[in-house]
Structure 1
Amino acid sequence: EQIKALAASIDRQGYAVLPNWASPAELAEVQALVERSVAEAGNRYVALTGHQAVTGSLLYEWGRSPVFLDLCRRVVTQATGRAANDDGLHQVLRCLVGDSGHRESMIFHYDSFVLTTIMPVCMPEGEKGDLLMLPSKRPLRGTYAMNLIDKLKVDNRWSQRHLIKAYQQGSNRFTQVAMEPGNMYLFWGYRSLHTNLPADPGGIRATAVFHYDNLHGASSLAGRIRSSLAFVRPGRRAMV
Protein backbone atom coordinates (compact mmCIF):
# COMPACT_ATOMS: atom_id res chain seq x y z
CA GLU A 1 0.00 0.00 0.00
CA GLN A 2 2.88 2.37 0.70
CA ILE A 3 4.31 1.74 -2.78
CA LYS A 4 0.91 2.45 -4.36
CA ALA A 5 0.61 5.64 -2.32
CA LEU A 6 4.06 6.85 -3.38
CA ALA A 7 3.38 6.25 -7.07
CA ALA A 8 -0.07 7.86 -6.79
CA SER A 9 1.39 10.93 -5.08
CA ILE A 10 3.95 11.38 -7.87
CA ASP A 11 1.22 11.09 -10.48
CA ARG A 12 -1.08 13.49 -8.62
CA GLN A 13 1.24 16.31 -7.53
CA GLY A 14 4.49 15.60 -9.37
CA TYR A 15 6.46 14.18 -6.45
CA ALA A 16 6.30 12.10 -3.27
CA VAL A 17 8.15 12.49 0.04
CA LEU A 18 9.69 10.01 2.45
CA PRO A 19 10.13 12.18 5.57
CA ASN A 20 13.16 11.82 7.83
CA TRP A 21 14.99 9.46 5.49
CA ALA A 22 18.22 10.39 7.24
CA SER A 23 18.50 10.67 11.02
CA PRO A 24 20.09 13.85 12.45
CA ALA A 25 23.34 11.96 13.04
CA GLU A 26 23.35 10.54 9.50
CA LEU A 27 22.57 13.95 8.01
CA ALA A 28 25.44 15.52 9.97
CA GLU A 29 27.82 12.86 8.65
CA VAL A 30 26.85 13.52 5.01
CA GLN A 31 27.03 17.29 5.59
CA ALA A 32 30.61 16.86 6.77
CA LEU A 33 31.38 15.03 3.50
CA VAL A 34 29.87 17.94 1.56
CA GLU A 35 31.96 20.51 3.43
CA ARG A 36 35.17 18.55 2.80
CA SER A 37 34.34 18.07 -0.88
CA VAL A 38 33.54 21.75 -1.45
CA ALA A 39 36.72 22.84 0.35
CA GLU A 40 38.84 20.45 -1.74
CA ALA A 41 37.24 21.90 -4.89
CA GLY A 42 38.27 25.42 -3.92
CA ASN A 43 34.79 26.42 -2.74
CA ARG A 44 33.38 25.91 -6.21
CA TYR A 45 30.71 23.68 -7.77
CA VAL A 46 31.52 19.99 -7.36
CA ALA A 47 29.69 16.78 -8.27
CA LEU A 48 30.77 13.36 -6.98
CA THR A 49 29.41 10.87 -9.50
CA GLY A 50 29.05 7.12 -8.97
CA HIS A 51 29.52 4.77 -6.03
CA GLN A 52 33.30 4.91 -6.01
CA ALA A 53 33.38 8.70 -5.64
CA VAL A 54 31.74 8.38 -2.20
CA THR A 55 33.41 5.15 -1.02
CA GLY A 56 33.42 4.77 2.75
CA SER A 57 30.47 7.10 3.31
CA LEU A 58 26.79 6.65 4.09
CA LEU A 59 26.02 7.68 0.52
CA TYR A 60 27.97 4.68 -0.72
CA GLU A 61 25.93 2.41 1.57
CA TRP A 62 22.62 3.94 0.49
CA GLY A 63 23.53 3.72 -3.18
CA ARG A 64 24.07 -0.02 -2.83
CA SER A 65 21.33 -0.72 -0.28
CA PRO A 66 19.13 -3.72 -1.26
CA VAL A 67 16.23 -2.17 0.68
CA PHE A 68 16.48 1.18 -1.12
CA LEU A 69 16.94 -0.54 -4.47
CA ASP A 70 13.87 -2.71 -3.85
CA LEU A 71 11.83 0.38 -2.98
CA CYS A 72 12.81 2.06 -6.25
CA ARG A 73 12.15 -1.12 -8.24
CA ARG A 74 8.67 -1.55 -6.78
CA VAL A 75 7.71 2.10 -7.32
CA VAL A 76 8.77 1.90 -10.98
CA THR A 77 6.95 -1.40 -11.49
CA GLN A 78 3.82 -0.02 -9.84
CA ALA A 79 3.84 3.01 -12.14
CA THR A 80 4.85 1.36 -15.43
CA GLY A 81 3.60 -2.21 -15.11
CA ARG A 82 6.95 -3.58 -16.29
CA ALA A 83 10.26 -4.69 -14.87
CA ALA A 84 13.06 -2.11 -14.79
CA ASN A 85 15.86 -2.25 -17.34
CA ASP A 86 18.69 -2.36 -14.82
CA ASP A 87 19.43 -3.55 -11.30
CA GLY A 88 21.44 -0.70 -9.82
CA LEU A 89 21.26 2.92 -8.77
CA HIS A 90 23.23 5.73 -10.40
CA GLN A 91 24.14 8.35 -7.81
CA VAL A 92 25.51 11.89 -7.71
CA LEU A 93 26.35 14.17 -4.79
CA ARG A 94 25.83 17.65 -6.28
CA CYS A 95 27.11 20.70 -4.42
CA LEU A 96 26.27 24.23 -5.58
CA VAL A 97 28.27 27.10 -4.10
CA GLY A 98 29.22 30.63 -5.16
CA ASP A 99 28.88 32.00 -8.67
CA SER A 100 29.76 28.60 -10.17
CA GLY A 101 26.69 27.19 -8.44
CA HIS A 102 24.51 29.91 -9.94
CA ARG A 103 25.69 28.95 -13.42
CA GLU A 104 24.52 25.38 -12.78
CA SER A 105 20.96 26.48 -11.93
CA MET A 106 17.87 27.07 -14.09
CA ILE A 107 18.93 24.53 -16.71
CA PHE A 108 15.78 22.59 -17.61
CA HIS A 109 16.30 18.98 -18.63
CA TYR A 110 14.86 15.47 -18.73
CA ASP A 111 16.66 12.61 -16.99
CA SER A 112 17.54 9.37 -18.74
CA PHE A 113 16.20 7.41 -15.76
CA VAL A 114 12.52 6.77 -15.05
CA LEU A 115 12.74 7.49 -11.31
CA THR A 116 14.79 10.24 -9.68
CA THR A 117 15.12 10.49 -5.90
CA ILE A 118 16.72 13.44 -4.12
CA MET A 119 17.79 13.88 -0.52
CA PRO A 120 18.73 17.49 0.28
CA VAL A 121 21.86 17.55 2.44
CA CYS A 122 22.51 21.29 2.85
CA MET A 123 20.29 24.26 2.02
CA PRO A 124 21.36 27.93 2.25
CA GLU A 125 19.63 30.38 4.59
CA GLY A 126 18.49 32.70 1.76
CA GLU A 127 17.49 31.43 -1.65
CA LYS A 128 17.41 27.67 -1.17
CA GLY A 129 17.41 26.52 -4.79
CA ASP A 130 14.00 24.82 -4.72
CA LEU A 131 13.27 21.98 -7.13
CA LEU A 132 11.20 23.29 -10.07
CA MET A 133 9.40 21.05 -12.55
CA LEU A 134 6.78 20.60 -15.21
CA PRO A 135 5.47 17.19 -14.07
CA SER A 136 4.69 14.41 -16.55
CA LYS A 137 5.57 16.61 -19.51
CA ARG A 138 6.21 13.62 -21.79
CA PRO A 139 5.46 9.87 -21.87
CA LEU A 140 8.00 7.07 -21.62
CA ARG A 141 9.43 6.87 -25.14
CA GLY A 142 9.67 3.57 -26.98
CA THR A 143 13.00 4.37 -28.62
CA TYR A 144 16.14 6.28 -27.74
CA ALA A 145 15.78 8.34 -30.92
CA MET A 146 12.46 9.79 -29.72
CA ASN A 147 14.01 10.48 -26.33
CA LEU A 148 16.89 12.28 -28.04
CA ILE A 149 14.49 14.48 -30.01
CA ASP A 150 12.75 15.46 -26.76
CA LYS A 151 16.08 16.44 -25.22
CA LEU A 152 17.23 18.41 -28.25
CA LYS A 153 13.99 20.41 -28.17
CA VAL A 154 14.89 21.56 -24.66
CA ASP A 155 18.69 21.69 -24.74
CA ASN A 156 18.95 24.96 -26.64
CA ARG A 157 19.14 28.64 -25.74
CA TRP A 158 15.72 29.58 -27.12
CA SER A 159 13.80 26.89 -25.22
CA GLN A 160 15.66 27.59 -21.98
CA ARG A 161 14.89 31.30 -22.22
CA HIS A 162 11.23 30.59 -22.98
CA LEU A 163 10.90 28.31 -19.93
CA ILE A 164 12.64 30.74 -17.61
CA LYS A 165 10.47 33.62 -18.84
CA ALA A 166 7.29 31.56 -18.34
CA TYR A 167 8.30 30.82 -14.74
CA GLN A 168 9.23 34.45 -14.04
CA GLN A 169 5.85 35.59 -15.38
CA GLY A 170 4.07 33.35 -12.88
CA SER A 171 2.88 30.49 -15.08
CA ASN A 172 0.84 28.02 -13.03
CA ARG A 173 2.17 25.07 -15.03
CA PHE A 174 5.21 24.78 -12.76
CA THR A 175 5.45 22.81 -9.54
CA GLN A 176 7.91 24.23 -7.01
CA VAL A 177 9.14 21.96 -4.23
CA ALA A 178 10.69 23.49 -1.10
CA MET A 179 12.87 20.58 0.02
CA GLU A 180 13.95 19.94 3.60
CA PRO A 181 17.33 18.33 4.43
CA GLY A 182 16.98 14.71 5.49
CA ASN A 183 13.76 14.03 3.56
CA MET A 184 13.81 11.92 0.39
CA TYR A 185 11.87 13.25 -2.62
CA LEU A 186 10.80 11.03 -5.51
CA PHE A 187 9.60 12.08 -8.98
CA TRP A 188 9.50 10.86 -12.56
CA GLY A 189 12.80 12.31 -13.74
CA TYR A 190 12.40 10.91 -17.25
CA ARG A 191 8.93 12.31 -17.79
CA SER A 192 9.23 15.63 -15.92
CA LEU A 193 11.08 18.65 -17.24
CA HIS A 194 12.95 19.96 -14.21
CA THR A 195 15.73 22.10 -12.77
CA ASN A 196 16.61 23.91 -9.56
CA LEU A 197 16.10 27.56 -8.76
CA PRO A 198 19.22 29.63 -8.01
CA ALA A 199 20.58 29.21 -4.48
CA ASP A 200 22.21 31.83 -2.30
CA PRO A 201 25.85 31.91 -3.50
CA GLY A 202 26.99 32.59 0.06
CA GLY A 203 25.87 29.13 1.21
CA ILE A 204 25.96 25.54 0.01
CA ARG A 205 23.09 23.75 -1.71
CA ALA A 206 23.94 20.05 -1.72
CA THR A 207 21.73 17.17 -2.84
CA ALA A 208 22.29 13.43 -2.90
CA VAL A 209 20.63 12.23 -6.10
CA PHE A 210 19.83 8.59 -6.88
CA HIS A 211 18.56 7.62 -10.34
CA TYR A 212 16.88 4.31 -11.16
CA ASP A 213 15.89 2.53 -14.39
CA ASN A 214 17.83 3.86 -17.37
CA LEU A 215 15.09 3.38 -19.95
CA HIS A 216 17.39 3.32 -22.99
CA GLY A 217 20.54 2.08 -21.29
CA ALA A 218 20.88 -0.87 -23.68
CA SER A 219 20.51 1.26 -26.83
CA SER A 220 23.53 1.04 -29.12
CA LEU A 221 22.76 4.55 -30.43
CA ALA A 222 22.78 5.89 -26.88
CA GLY A 223 26.13 4.22 -26.26
CA ARG A 224 27.71 5.79 -29.33
CA ILE A 225 26.39 9.25 -28.45
CA ARG A 226 27.58 8.97 -24.84
CA SER A 227 31.05 8.05 -26.09
CA SER A 228 31.08 11.03 -28.45
CA LEU A 229 29.93 13.44 -25.73
CA ALA A 230 32.55 12.13 -23.31
CA PHE A 231 35.22 12.85 -25.92
CA VAL A 232 33.93 16.27 -26.98
CA ARG A 233 32.61 17.50 -23.62
CA PRO A 234 34.32 15.62 -20.78
CA GLY A 235 32.68 15.92 -17.38
CA ARG A 236 29.11 16.51 -18.58
CA ARG A 237 27.26 17.38 -15.40
CA ALA A 238 24.18 15.86 -13.83
CA MET A 239 21.62 18.48 -12.86
CA VAL A 240 19.02 18.25 -10.13
Structure 2
Amino acid sequence: MRIPHFASFSCRSDISLETYISRGEKEGEDLLKLSSQTNEAPPSIKLKIKAVFLSRKPAELTSCSEKEPIMSSISNAKSWLSELSDDKINAIAHEMNTEGIYCHSDFLSAEDLARMRGVVYSAISLGGQQSVSLKNNELAGSDLEILANCPEFQSLFSRIYSAGLGRAPPEVHFYQILRCLTGKSVLSHSLMFHYDSYAVTALVPVEIPQSGKRGDFLIIPNTRGIRSNYLFNLVDKVILDNALTQRILRTRLSLGKGIRRVAMVPGSLYLFWGYRSIHTNEPVDEGAVRATALFHYADPHAESYLKRRLGRG
Protein backbone atom coordinates (compact mmCIF):
# COMPACT_ATOMS: atom_id res chain seq x y z
CA MET A 1 0.00 0.00 0.00
CA ARG A 2 1.55 3.29 -1.09
CA ILE A 3 0.28 6.51 0.47
CA PRO A 4 0.86 9.56 -1.77
CA HIS A 5 1.82 12.99 -0.46
CA PHE A 6 -0.87 14.35 1.88
CA ALA A 7 -2.46 10.90 1.76
CA SER A 8 -5.34 11.92 -0.49
CA PHE A 9 -7.90 9.15 -0.77
CA SER A 10 -11.58 8.57 -1.35
CA CYS A 11 -14.01 7.09 1.17
CA ARG A 12 -15.86 5.25 -1.57
CA SER A 13 -18.69 4.19 0.72
CA ASP A 14 -19.21 7.79 1.87
CA ILE A 15 -19.06 9.86 -1.33
CA SER A 16 -21.72 12.28 -0.12
CA LEU A 17 -19.81 12.77 3.14
CA GLU A 18 -16.55 13.56 1.33
CA THR A 19 -18.36 15.93 -1.00
CA TYR A 20 -19.88 17.72 1.97
CA ILE A 21 -16.49 18.13 3.64
CA SER A 22 -14.92 19.38 0.41
CA ARG A 23 -17.28 22.36 0.38
CA GLY A 24 -15.16 24.10 2.97
CA GLU A 25 -12.75 23.71 5.81
CA LYS A 26 -15.24 25.20 8.28
CA GLU A 27 -18.00 22.72 7.43
CA GLY A 28 -15.56 19.82 7.67
CA GLU A 29 -14.37 20.98 11.07
CA ASP A 30 -17.95 21.33 12.31
CA LEU A 31 -18.76 17.81 11.11
CA LEU A 32 -15.64 16.43 12.76
CA LYS A 33 -16.61 18.06 16.07
CA LEU A 34 -20.17 16.77 15.74
CA SER A 35 -19.01 13.23 15.06
CA SER A 36 -16.77 13.20 18.13
CA GLN A 37 -19.54 14.48 20.39
CA THR A 38 -22.34 12.14 19.41
CA ASN A 39 -22.83 8.47 20.14
CA GLU A 40 -24.91 8.05 16.99
CA ALA A 41 -21.93 7.85 14.64
CA PRO A 42 -20.07 4.49 14.86
CA PRO A 43 -16.27 4.59 15.34
CA SER A 44 -15.60 3.51 11.76
CA ILE A 45 -17.53 6.50 10.38
CA LYS A 46 -15.76 8.84 12.80
CA LEU A 47 -12.40 7.61 11.52
CA LYS A 48 -13.46 8.11 7.90
CA ILE A 49 -14.64 11.65 8.66
CA LYS A 50 -11.34 12.42 10.37
CA ALA A 51 -9.34 10.86 7.55
CA VAL A 52 -11.03 12.95 4.87
CA PHE A 53 -10.74 16.12 6.93
CA LEU A 54 -7.07 15.67 7.86
CA SER A 55 -6.00 14.60 4.38
CA ARG A 56 -7.22 17.86 2.84
CA LYS A 57 -4.53 20.33 1.80
CA PRO A 58 -5.02 23.70 3.54
CA ALA A 59 -3.81 26.56 1.37
CA GLU A 60 -1.48 27.92 4.02
CA LEU A 61 0.40 24.61 4.21
CA THR A 62 0.75 23.73 0.55
CA SER A 63 2.88 25.10 -2.24
CA CYS A 64 1.60 26.01 -5.68
CA SER A 65 2.65 22.67 -7.10
CA GLU A 66 2.27 19.27 -5.42
CA LYS A 67 5.76 18.45 -6.64
CA GLU A 68 7.28 21.32 -4.68
CA PRO A 69 8.20 20.72 -1.03
CA ILE A 70 6.28 22.45 1.73
CA MET A 71 8.54 25.22 2.94
CA SER A 72 7.42 24.88 6.57
CA SER A 73 7.85 21.10 6.61
CA ILE A 74 9.81 19.86 9.68
CA SER A 75 11.15 23.39 10.29
CA ASN A 76 11.12 22.89 14.08
CA ALA A 77 13.15 19.72 13.71
CA LYS A 78 15.66 21.27 11.33
CA SER A 79 16.17 24.27 13.61
CA TRP A 80 16.94 22.12 16.65
CA LEU A 81 19.09 19.64 14.74
CA SER A 82 21.22 22.37 13.16
CA GLU A 83 22.17 23.72 16.60
CA LEU A 84 23.32 20.45 18.19
CA SER A 85 26.82 20.85 19.58
CA ASP A 86 29.16 17.98 20.38
CA ASP A 87 28.53 18.61 24.08
CA LYS A 88 24.77 18.25 23.53
CA ILE A 89 25.26 15.02 21.57
CA ASN A 90 27.38 13.63 24.40
CA ALA A 91 24.68 14.64 26.89
CA ILE A 92 21.99 12.87 24.83
CA ALA A 93 24.09 9.69 24.59
CA HIS A 94 24.80 9.86 28.33
CA GLU A 95 21.09 10.13 29.14
CA MET A 96 20.34 7.16 26.87
CA ASN A 97 23.02 5.19 28.73
CA THR A 98 22.00 6.18 32.25
CA GLU A 99 18.24 6.83 32.05
CA GLY A 100 17.45 4.54 29.14
CA ILE A 101 15.67 7.10 26.99
CA TYR A 102 16.10 10.73 25.90
CA CYS A 103 13.21 13.04 25.03
CA HIS A 104 13.18 16.33 23.13
CA SER A 105 9.76 18.00 23.18
CA ASP A 106 8.22 20.02 20.30
CA PHE A 107 10.42 18.31 17.74
CA LEU A 108 7.57 18.60 15.22
CA SER A 109 5.19 21.51 14.76
CA ALA A 110 1.40 21.29 14.91
CA GLU A 111 1.33 21.66 11.12
CA ASP A 112 3.75 18.75 10.66
CA LEU A 113 1.61 16.58 12.93
CA ALA A 114 -1.59 17.51 11.08
CA ARG A 115 -0.14 16.33 7.77
CA MET A 116 1.27 13.14 9.30
CA ARG A 117 -2.07 12.37 10.92
CA GLY A 118 -3.64 12.60 7.50
CA VAL A 119 -1.37 9.76 6.41
CA VAL A 120 -2.26 7.80 9.56
CA TYR A 121 -6.03 8.01 9.20
CA SER A 122 -5.90 7.37 5.47
CA ALA A 123 -3.85 4.23 6.05
CA ILE A 124 -6.21 3.01 8.76
CA SER A 125 -9.25 3.57 6.54
CA LEU A 126 -7.62 1.76 3.65
CA GLY A 127 -6.68 -1.02 6.10
CA GLY A 128 -10.25 -1.69 7.16
CA GLN A 129 -10.10 0.28 10.44
CA GLN A 130 -7.50 -2.12 11.86
CA SER A 131 -3.84 -1.76 12.78
CA VAL A 132 -1.49 -1.14 9.88
CA SER A 133 2.23 -0.42 9.40
CA LEU A 134 3.79 1.52 6.54
CA LYS A 135 7.47 0.99 5.77
CA ASN A 136 10.16 2.93 3.92
CA ASN A 137 8.91 3.00 0.33
CA GLU A 138 5.27 3.28 1.41
CA LEU A 139 6.04 6.64 3.01
CA ALA A 140 7.39 8.20 -0.19
CA GLY A 141 6.42 11.85 -0.52
CA SER A 142 5.40 12.26 3.11
CA ASP A 143 6.94 14.48 5.78
CA LEU A 144 8.41 11.32 7.31
CA GLU A 145 10.40 10.69 4.15
CA ILE A 146 11.55 14.32 4.18
CA LEU A 147 12.71 13.89 7.76
CA ALA A 148 14.52 10.62 7.00
CA ASN A 149 16.39 12.30 4.12
CA CYS A 150 17.32 15.37 6.16
CA PRO A 151 21.16 15.47 6.48
CA GLU A 152 20.97 16.97 9.99
CA PHE A 153 18.63 14.20 11.14
CA GLN A 154 20.91 11.52 9.69
CA SER A 155 23.91 13.15 11.35
CA LEU A 156 22.15 12.98 14.73
CA PHE A 157 22.17 9.17 14.56
CA SER A 158 25.77 8.75 13.48
CA ARG A 159 26.98 11.22 16.12
CA ILE A 160 24.99 9.54 18.90
CA TYR A 161 26.24 6.12 17.80
CA SER A 162 29.84 7.31 17.95
CA ALA A 163 29.42 9.16 21.26
CA GLY A 164 27.45 6.42 22.99
CA LEU A 165 29.17 3.30 21.73
CA GLY A 166 32.67 4.61 21.03
CA ARG A 167 32.65 3.11 17.55
CA ALA A 168 32.97 4.47 14.04
CA PRO A 169 29.39 4.92 12.78
CA PRO A 170 28.19 3.05 9.70
CA GLU A 171 26.58 4.90 6.83
CA VAL A 172 23.08 6.10 7.70
CA HIS A 173 20.31 3.99 6.21
CA PHE A 174 17.04 3.87 8.11
CA TYR A 175 14.62 1.03 8.53
CA GLN A 176 11.56 3.21 8.85
CA ILE A 177 8.04 2.31 10.03
CA LEU A 178 4.85 4.27 10.64
CA ARG A 179 3.02 2.03 13.11
CA CYS A 180 -0.71 2.68 13.49
CA LEU A 181 -2.58 0.72 16.17
CA THR A 182 -6.38 0.64 16.37
CA GLY A 183 -9.39 -1.68 16.26
CA LYS A 184 -9.65 -5.28 17.42
CA SER A 185 -6.07 -6.01 16.32
CA VAL A 186 -4.56 -3.73 19.00
CA LEU A 187 -3.99 -6.50 21.54
CA SER A 188 -1.95 -8.61 19.12
CA HIS A 189 0.43 -5.65 18.64
CA SER A 190 0.83 -4.76 22.32
CA LEU A 191 2.75 -6.02 25.36
CA MET A 192 5.14 -8.04 23.20
CA PHE A 193 8.50 -7.37 24.85
CA HIS A 194 11.37 -7.41 22.36
CA TYR A 195 14.81 -6.20 21.33
CA ASP A 196 15.25 -4.24 18.10
CA SER A 197 17.67 -5.45 15.45
CA TYR A 198 19.20 -1.97 15.19
CA ALA A 199 21.44 -0.14 17.66
CA VAL A 200 19.67 3.23 17.77
CA THR A 201 15.91 3.73 17.68
CA ALA A 202 14.10 7.05 17.36
CA LEU A 203 10.40 7.20 18.11
CA VAL A 204 8.17 10.15 17.16
CA PRO A 205 4.55 9.90 18.38
CA VAL A 206 2.10 11.18 15.77
CA GLU A 207 -1.23 10.33 17.41
CA ILE A 208 -1.71 9.32 21.07
CA PRO A 209 -5.06 8.88 22.86
CA GLN A 210 -5.76 11.62 25.40
CA SER A 211 -8.10 9.48 27.49
CA GLY A 212 -8.59 5.82 28.34
CA LYS A 213 -5.71 3.49 27.54
CA ARG A 214 -2.90 5.62 26.11
CA GLY A 215 -0.58 2.92 24.83
CA ASP A 216 2.31 4.01 27.06
CA PHE A 217 5.84 3.05 26.03
CA LEU A 218 7.48 0.50 28.34
CA ILE A 219 11.23 -0.05 28.58
CA ILE A 220 13.76 -2.02 30.60
CA PRO A 221 16.86 -0.06 29.58
CA ASN A 222 20.18 -1.40 28.42
CA THR A 223 19.91 -5.00 29.57
CA ARG A 224 22.60 -6.23 27.17
CA GLY A 225 25.55 -5.00 25.13
CA ILE A 226 26.13 -5.17 21.39
CA ARG A 227 26.71 -8.87 20.74
CA SER A 228 29.90 -9.74 18.88
CA ASN A 229 28.17 -12.57 17.02
CA TYR A 230 24.72 -12.83 15.47
CA LEU A 231 24.25 -16.26 17.07
CA PHE A 232 24.44 -14.74 20.56
CA ASN A 233 21.93 -12.09 19.51
CA LEU A 234 19.62 -14.82 18.22
CA VAL A 235 19.83 -16.71 21.53
CA ASP A 236 18.87 -13.50 23.39
CA LYS A 237 15.83 -13.06 21.19
CA VAL A 238 14.72 -16.69 21.47
CA ILE A 239 14.84 -16.45 25.26
CA LEU A 240 12.96 -13.14 25.28
CA ASP A 241 10.32 -14.33 22.81
CA ASN A 242 9.58 -17.37 24.98
CA ALA A 243 6.01 -17.44 26.36
CA LEU A 244 7.26 -17.91 29.93
CA THR A 245 9.60 -14.92 29.70
CA GLN A 246 6.79 -12.78 28.29
CA ARG A 247 4.51 -13.85 31.15
CA ILE A 248 7.16 -13.01 33.74
CA LEU A 249 7.69 -9.55 32.24
CA ARG A 250 3.96 -8.84 32.18
CA THR A 251 3.76 -9.88 35.83
CA ARG A 252 6.60 -7.49 36.64
CA LEU A 253 4.66 -4.76 34.87
CA SER A 254 1.51 -5.44 36.86
CA LEU A 255 3.56 -5.30 40.07
CA GLY A 256 5.33 -2.11 38.98
CA LYS A 257 8.78 -3.64 39.26
CA GLY A 258 11.73 -2.61 37.12
CA ILE A 259 9.89 -1.44 34.02
CA ARG A 260 9.91 2.24 33.10
CA ARG A 261 6.65 3.66 31.77
CA VAL A 262 6.79 6.66 29.41
CA ALA A 263 3.64 8.60 28.50
CA MET A 264 4.17 9.57 24.88
CA VAL A 265 3.61 13.19 23.78
CA PRO A 266 2.81 13.77 20.07
CA GLY A 267 5.52 15.69 18.24
CA SER A 268 8.29 14.82 20.70
CA LEU A 269 11.43 12.90 19.74
CA TYR A 270 12.44 9.90 21.85
CA LEU A 271 15.84 8.23 21.46
CA PHE A 272 16.96 4.94 23.03
CA TRP A 273 19.24 1.97 22.40
CA GLY A 274 16.67 -0.31 20.77
CA TYR A 275 19.10 -3.20 20.33
CA ARG A 276 20.15 -3.15 23.98
CA SER A 277 16.80 -2.43 25.66
CA ILE A 278 13.75 -4.63 26.19
CA HIS A 279 10.70 -2.61 25.23
CA THR A 280 7.09 -2.68 24.09
CA ASN A 281 3.88 -0.66 24.24
CA GLU A 282 0.67 -0.99 26.20
CA PRO A 283 -2.60 -1.34 24.25
CA VAL A 284 -5.09 1.42 23.50
CA ASP A 285 -8.87 1.22 23.50
CA GLU A 286 -10.36 -0.41 20.41
CA GLY A 287 -11.85 2.84 19.10
CA ALA A 288 -8.68 4.90 19.73
CA VAL A 289 -5.57 5.34 17.57
CA ARG A 290 -1.91 5.17 18.58
CA ALA A 291 0.46 6.09 15.76
CA THR A 292 4.24 6.31 16.05
CA ALA A 293 6.98 6.92 13.50
CA LEU A 294 10.05 4.75 14.08
CA PHE A 295 13.54 5.24 12.67
CA HIS A 296 15.97 2.34 13.18
CA TYR A 297 19.70 2.80 12.54
CA ALA A 298 22.78 0.56 12.48
CA ASP A 299 22.27 -3.19 12.37
CA PRO A 300 25.34 -4.64 14.15
CA HIS A 301 24.91 -7.92 12.27
CA ALA A 302 24.18 -6.58 8.80
CA GLU A 303 27.08 -8.57 7.35
CA SER A 304 26.41 -11.80 9.25
CA TYR A 305 26.52 -14.92 7.08
CA LEU A 306 24.28 -16.79 9.52
CA LYS A 307 21.71 -14.02 9.40
CA ARG A 308 21.60 -14.17 5.60
CA ARG A 309 21.34 -17.98 5.66
CA LEU A 310 18.35 -17.75 7.99
CA GLY A 311 16.68 -15.27 5.65
CA ARG A 312 16.85 -12.41 8.12
CA GLY A 313 19.27 -10.23 6.19
TM-score under structure 2 length normalisation = 0.70
Establish whether residue 104 from structure 1 lines up as the match of residue 182 from structure 2. Answer: no
CA contact (8 A) 1:15 1:185 kept: yes
Establish whether residue 92 from structure 1 lines up as the match of residue 171 from structure 2. Answer: no
Match of 2:67 in 1: none
Match of 1:19 in 2: 105
Q: How does 1:5-44 map to 2 (within 5 A)?
A: 5-44=91-130
1:122 to 194, 204, 207: 207
Establish whether residue 64 from structure 1 lines up as the match of residue 149 from structure 2. Answer: yes
> Which is strand-richer, 1 or 2?
1
- State how far apart, in whole Å, the 2-side matches of 1:127 and 1:30 are: 22
CA contact (8 A) 2:158 2:170 kept: no
- State how far apart, in whole Å, the 2-side matches of 1:17 and 1:143 are: 31
- State how far apart, in whole Å, the 1-side matches of 2:148 and 2:263 are: 24
Give the superposition deviation at 1:227: 5.0
Cα deviation digits, residues 128-169 of structure 1 (max 9, x gap): 111101101111111101100100001121111111011112
Query: Aligned Cα RMSD in Å?
Result: 1.2
- State how far apart, in whole Å, the 1-side matches of 2:171 and 2:247 are: 35
Identity %: 38
> Which is helix-richer, 1 or 2?
2
Establish whether residue 175 from structure 1 lines up as the match of residue 273 from structure 2. Answer: no
Gaps of 5+ in 1: 229-240
CA contact (8 A) 1:64 1:89 kept: no
SS at match of 1:82: coil
Match of 1:147 in 2: 233
CA contact (8 A) 1:64 1:88 kept: no
Code of the residue aligned with 1:35 in structure 2: it is: Y
CA contact (8 A) 1:96 1:102 kept: no
Match of 1:223 in 2: 308
Establish whether residue 203 from structure 1 lines up as the match of residue 288 from structure 2. Answer: yes
Establish whether residue 45 from structure 1 lines up as the match of residue 151 from structure 2. Answer: no
Code of the residue aligned with 2:285 in structure 1: it is: D
SS at match of 1:14: coil
- State how far apart, in whole Å, the 2-side matches of 1:85 and 1:149 are: 25
Task: Detail structure 1 runs of 4+ shifted over 6 Å in the superposition.
Answer: none
Give the superposition deviation at 1:89: 1.2
SS at match of 2:179: strand
Code of the residue aligned with 2:126 in structure 1: it is: E
TM-score under structure 1 length normalisation = 0.91
Code of the residue aligned with 1:212 in structure 2: it is: Y
Instruction: Return the structure number with greater relative CO, CA threshold 8 A, min gap 6.
Output: 1
Establish whether residue 163 from structure 1 lines up as the match of residue 163 from structure 2. Answer: no
